[in-house]
Amino acid sequence: MMRSPGFLSFVYVAIGTLFVLFAIMQVQLEGWGFLPIFFLALAALDYVIAWHFVKKTRGAQNHNK
């Protein structure tokens, strides 16, 4: 079943925000290391994918007009 791009962008932003929160908690507990940087890299990837879906949603809306 295909989900709408708007819904998928929301999901990716939510997951990216969770990764940022995990990174913040990890830095507060143990300082900077591999794991917080990895979490932030995953969050950045999720935000890029979410932006892709936002552009896809806007393109579909402009195409329908």
Question: Which tokens hold the place of 61?
Answer: 């809306």
Count the domains in the chain: 1
Q: Is 64 a member of any domain?
A: no
Distances from the Cα of 27 to the Cαs of 2, 40, 59, 60, in angstroms?
Answer: 37, 11, 39, 40
pLDDT value, residue 61: 66
Compute the mean pLDDT over every residue in the chain, rounded to the nearest whole number: 90
Q: Is 47 a member of any domain?
A: yes
Residue 57 has pLDDT above 90, yes or no: no
Q: Is 8 a member of any domain?
A: no
Q: Is 4 a member of any domain?
A: no
* Residue 4 binned pLDDT confidence (cut-offs 50, 70, 90): confident
- Do 48 and 3 meet the contact criterion of CB atoms below 8 Å apart? no
Q: Is 51 a member of any domain?
A: yes
- Do 11 and 52 meet the contact criterion of CB atoms below 8 Å apart? no
Q: Is 22 a member of any domain?
A: yes
Q: Is 65 a member of any domain?
A: no
Which domain range does residue 26 map to?
13-59
